[in-house]
């Protein structure tokens, strides 16, 4: 049975399994969002550091670059950044607490139907709060960017 | 072989958590600087240049740059490590993340120094 | 006789869609469908055994206890890892039930997967009590003491010791889905089970998983605890373990008091 080696990647769920976070509850969705927003924010951050560097080339360079971002799509992108950073930060705080075992309950004597204490509502509500804060921040961003 | 590492993974993750929390505060100051004046004029050239000459604000900007570069590229390192497992790939990831972090910090610092001198 | 005939008529039927593949013979992957009668209490395992008995004996499955104790009948049922003997057809509420091998474990044949990697990760965390008294742990006769543990001490690890090594959590974990070197929820929770046991004196348990593919690759997606059929809550064990590794929980370990056992001669 040589083909059944321990490092066989046969039947791994891989990225395909990763792409569908809907099967296992809120914590899985939180994990998925944290990762997507993290990568998205890093891309934005790199772009932002590049964008602002045009200031060293004088007022004209700065203003012409700024113009590129002052479009409807540019503003929508910024609103996405606002939403992503709010979610990532708020949920990031929740994750730091859960990762050190705070708010997960204590081990006990499990009984049917075996509801796991770590998936409790105290900790789960942090995800919802992060989503709500994120929506509120996006709404605020919208009024500032499109309000004038 | 595997054991010769500068930092234990637990130390790297402590850095990840701390840079994440610290980023919240410095980014908050950064955003407030846009909001204490009307958003449009906060992006005017003269206002920005005056920002770059304020040593306190320069310190904030540099902190954001360092904290988020480290946190973000370490996040990418984590994602890539989980994707594929072999020594060549893992060593490449380490080198790539460290160089990308240094490069981004260097590039941003260049802007800060030059804009401060304008 | 009459009675059973009548029952047969209004018996409900379900379509069982079973994944088929023979890895060694490199057969094509495909699904076979079977119409299986079921009652309110029929489990997916019952239905699979019905297929084996009356329709196609070549369907490969692994099972033993039929009561969620042995941990051998794990499979993906309607997209989620579950124990076939612990999943009732009537509870699934679908007209077709899809049975596939547990993801993240290599397929041997049909619904049977290879657990070698899973067990290797389990062994790697040294899942046994270690003591420093110099007496070989297997040599129980030479042990002249017994451990004192209060009920509170026991509660710290009891839950995690209920693990039946069924691999459902391993199969549900998004990190395991791409990272072969990650120990997985089962092994990490077992590491905590022994770490939290006051009888255990092992010194460097935490170092075993302080690695770039170790415990830090858990992102608390919670899927393991969601699918565990025994209420082990591996995600809880992992986060509690991490709290020690980050120094949030105090690192000194409480050890069980050892009480000398009087030898037989003394007792007489
Ligand atoms: C604003 C810029 C930020 C960027 C570019 C960024 C980037 C990232 C990236 C790429 C990841 C990897 C995702 C993963 O491993 O699943 C990540 C994870 C994480 N970030 Fe951030 N982050 C930022 C801010 C923050 C803030 C403000 C916090 C809040 C404390 C935070 C806390 C976390 C946490 C807790 C994780 C999870 C690590 C894990 O799942 O193991 N981040 N971040
Ligand atoms: S922790 Fe639960 S799901 Fe995982 S192997 Fe043990 S019993 Fe099965
Ligand atoms: S047959 Fe033993 S757990 Fe299902």
- Quickly state the pLDDT bin for C7 (edges 50, 70, 90): low
CATH number at residue A57: 1.20.1300.10
Strands (E) located in C94-234: 96-100, 107-109, 112-113, 145-148
CATH number at residue C92: 3.10.20.30
C121 and C177 inside one domain: yes
Give yes or no for A18 touching B (CB within 8 A): no
ipTM: 0.93
Shortest Cα distance from A80 to chain C (angstroms)?
A: 23
C71 and C185 inside one domain: no
Q: Residue A18: count other Cβ atoms within 10 Å of its Cβ.
A: 19
Rounded (5°) CA angle A102-A106-A112: 130
Nearest Cα to Cα of residue C149 among C157, C141, C137: C157
Q: Residue B109: count other Cβ atoms within 10 Å of its Cβ.
A: 15
C-alpha C45/C-alpha C68 separation (Å) is 11
Average pLDDT, stretch B39-58?
89
pLDDT in tens, B11-28: 999 999 999 999 999 999
Interface contact A114-C79, CB threshold 8 A: no
Note if the pTM is more than 0.95: no
Q: Which residue in the block uniquely carries the two structure tokens 């009087």?
A: C262
Is the predicted pLDDT of residue C70 greater than 80, yes or no? yes
Q: Is any ligand 2 atom within 6 A of the Cβ of residue C223?
A: no
- Which of the pair, B52 or C268, is modelled with greater confidence? B52
CB proximity list for B69: less than 8 A, separation 6 or greater:
A45, B101, B104, B105, B108
Is the predicted pLDDT of residue C230 greater than 70, yes or no? yes
Q: Domain span at residue A32?
A: 25-102+115-146
Average pLDDT, stretch C66-87?
97
Domain count, chain A: 1
- Which of the pair, C255 or A89, is modelled with greater confidence? A89
Domain count, chain C: 2
Q: Domain span at residue C89?
A: 2-113
Give yes or no for C13 touching B (CB within 8 A): no
When computed from its CA atoms, the radius of gyration of chain B, rounded to whole angstroms, is: 18
User: Is C264 a member of any domain?
Assistant: no
User: Cβ-count burial of B46 within 10 angstroms (0-12 exposed, 13-18 middle, 19+ buried)?
Assistant: exposed
According to DSSP, the residues that pair with C112 across neighbouring strands are C109
Interface contact B75-A52, CB threshold 8 A: no
Of the three residues C113, C145, C164, the one that is the final residue of a domain is C113
Give yes or no for B80 touching C (CB within 8 A): no
User: Is C245 a member of any domain?
Assistant: yes
For atom 2 of ligand 2, the residue with the nearest CA is: C228
User: Is C263 a member of any domain?
Assistant: no
Taking a C-beta distance cutoff of 8 angstroms, is the pair C102, C74 a contact? yes
Average pLDDT, stretch B29-56?
88
The backbone torsions φ and ψ at residue C88, rounded to the nearest 5 degrees and listed phi first, read -85, 140
Give B9-116's CATH code, choosing from 1.20.1300.10, 3.40.50.150, 3.40.718.10, 2.40.30.10. 1.20.1300.10
User: Is C247 a member of any domain?
Assistant: yes
Taking a C-beta distance cutoff of 8 angstroms, is the pair C185, C160 a contact? no
User: Is A8 a member of any domain?
Assistant: no
How do the domains of chain B map onto residue ranges?
Answer: 9-116
Average pLDDT, stretch B53-78?
97
Min mean pLDDT across A56-70, B79-93, C247-261 is at: C247-261
C14 and C47 inside one domain: yes
Half-sphere exposure of C29 (CA within 13 A, CB side): 9
Residue C17 in 3-state DSSP?
strand
Is the predicted pLDDT of residue B56 greater than 70, yes or no? yes
**Parallel/antiparallel/unpaired status of strands C74-77 and C96-100:** antiparallel
Interface contact B81-C212, CB threshold 8 A: yes
The minimal CB distance from A31 to the residues C117, C219, C249 is found for C219
- pLDDT for A3: 42
C38 and C99 inside one domain: yes
Nearest Cα to Cα of residue C208 among C130, C124, C129: C124
C156 and C246 inside one domain: yes
According to DSSP, the residues that pair with C35 across neighbouring strands are C15
Interface contact C236-A105, CB threshold 8 A: yes
Nearest Cα to Cα of residue B115 among B71, B74, B36, B55: B55
CB proximity list for A42: less than 8 A, separation 6 or greater:
B72, B73, B75, B76
Give yes or no for A122 touching C (CB within 8 A): no
Q: Residue window 37-96, chain B: list those with CB within 8 Å of chain A.
A: 39-40, 43, 45, 48-49, 52, 65, 68-69, 72-73, 75-76, 79, 83
Is the predicted pLDDT of residue C82 greater than 80, yes or no? yes
C250 and C121 inside one domain: yes
The secondary structure of residue C131, as a DSSP letter, is -
pLDDT in tens, C151-202: 999 999 999 999 999 999 999 999 999 999 999 999 999 999 999 999 999 8
According to DSSP, the residues that pair with C30 across neighbouring strands are C20
Residue C52 in 3-state DSSP?
helix
Give yes or no for A5 touching B (CB within 8 A): no
DSSP C87-115: -BHHHH--SEEEEEPPTTS-EEETTEE--
CA dihedral A26, A27, A33, A38 (to 10 degrees): 160
- pLDDT for A4: 45
User: Is C76 a member of any domain?
Assistant: yes
- pLDDT for C251: 65
The minimal CB distance from A63 to the residues B40, B45, B69 is found for B45
C162 and C65 inside one domain: no
User: Is A63 a member of any domain?
Assistant: yes
């Amino acid at each position: 049975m040589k083909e059944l080696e321990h490092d066989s990647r046969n039947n791994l769920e891989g990225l395909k399994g990763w792409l569908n976070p809907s099967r296992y509850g809120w914590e899985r969705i939180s994990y998925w969002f944290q990762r997507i927003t993290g990568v998205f924010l890093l891309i934005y951050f790199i772009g932002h550091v590049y964008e602002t560097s045009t200031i060293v080339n004088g007022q004209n360079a700065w203003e012409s670059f700024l113009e590129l971002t002052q479009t409807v799509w540019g503003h929508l992108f910024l609103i996405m950044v606002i939403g992503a950073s709010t979610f990532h930060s708020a949920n990031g705080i929740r994750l730091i607490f859960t990762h050190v075992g705070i708010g997960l309950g204590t081990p006990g004597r499990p009984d049917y139907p075996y509801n796991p204490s770590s998936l409790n509502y105290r900790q789960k509500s942090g995800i919802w709060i992060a989503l709500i804060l994120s929506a509120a921040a996006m709404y605020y961003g919208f009024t500032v960017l499109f309000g004038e | 072989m595997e054991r010769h590492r500068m930092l234990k993974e637990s130390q790297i993750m402590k850095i990840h958590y701390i840079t994440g929390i610290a980023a919240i505060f410095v980014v908050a100051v950064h955003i407030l600087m846009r909001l204490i004046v009307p958003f449009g004029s906060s992006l005017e050239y003269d206002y920005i240049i005056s920002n770059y000459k304020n040593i306190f604000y320069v310190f904030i900007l540099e902190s954001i740059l360092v904290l988020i570069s480290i946190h973000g590229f370490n996040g990418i390192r984590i994602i890539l490590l989980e994707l594929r497992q072999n020594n060549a790939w893992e060593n490449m990831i380490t080198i790539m993340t460290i160089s990308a972090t240094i490069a981004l910090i260097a590039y941003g610092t260049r802007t800060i120094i030059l804009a401060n001198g304008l | 006789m009459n009675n059973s005939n009548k029952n047969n008529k209004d018996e409900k039927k379900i379509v069982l869609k079973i994944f088929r593949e023979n890895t060694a013979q490199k057969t094509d992957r495909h699904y076979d469908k079977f119409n299986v009668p079921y009652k309110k209490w029929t489990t997916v395992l019952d239905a699979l055994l019905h297929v084996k008995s009356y329709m196609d004996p070549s369907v490969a499955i692994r099972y033993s206890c039929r009561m969620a104790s042995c941990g051998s009948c794990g499979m993906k049922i309607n997209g989620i890892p579950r124990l076939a003997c612990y999943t009732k057809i009537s509870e699934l509420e679908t007209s077709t039930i899809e049975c596939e091998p547990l993801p993240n474990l290599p397929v041997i044949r049909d619904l049977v997967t290879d657990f070698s990697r899973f067990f290797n990760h389990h062994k790697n965390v040294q899942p046994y009590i270690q003591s420093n008294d110099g007496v070989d742990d297997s040599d129980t006769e030479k042990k002249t003491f017994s451990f004192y543990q209060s009920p509170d001490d026991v509660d710290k690890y009891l839950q995690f010791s209920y693990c039946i090594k069924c691999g459902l959590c391993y199969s549900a974990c998004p990190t395991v889905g791409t990272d072969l070197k990650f120990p997985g929820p089962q092994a990490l929770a077992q590491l905590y089970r022994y770490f939290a046991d006051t009888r255990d004196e092992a010194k460097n348990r935490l170092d075993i998983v302080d690695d770039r593919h170790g415990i830090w690759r858990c992102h608390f997606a919670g899927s393991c605890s969601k699918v565990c059929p025994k209420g082990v809550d591996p995600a809880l064990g992992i986060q509690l373990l991490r709290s020690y590794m980050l120094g949030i929980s105090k690192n000194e370990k409480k050890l069980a008091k050892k009480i000398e056992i009087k030898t037989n001669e003394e007792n007489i």
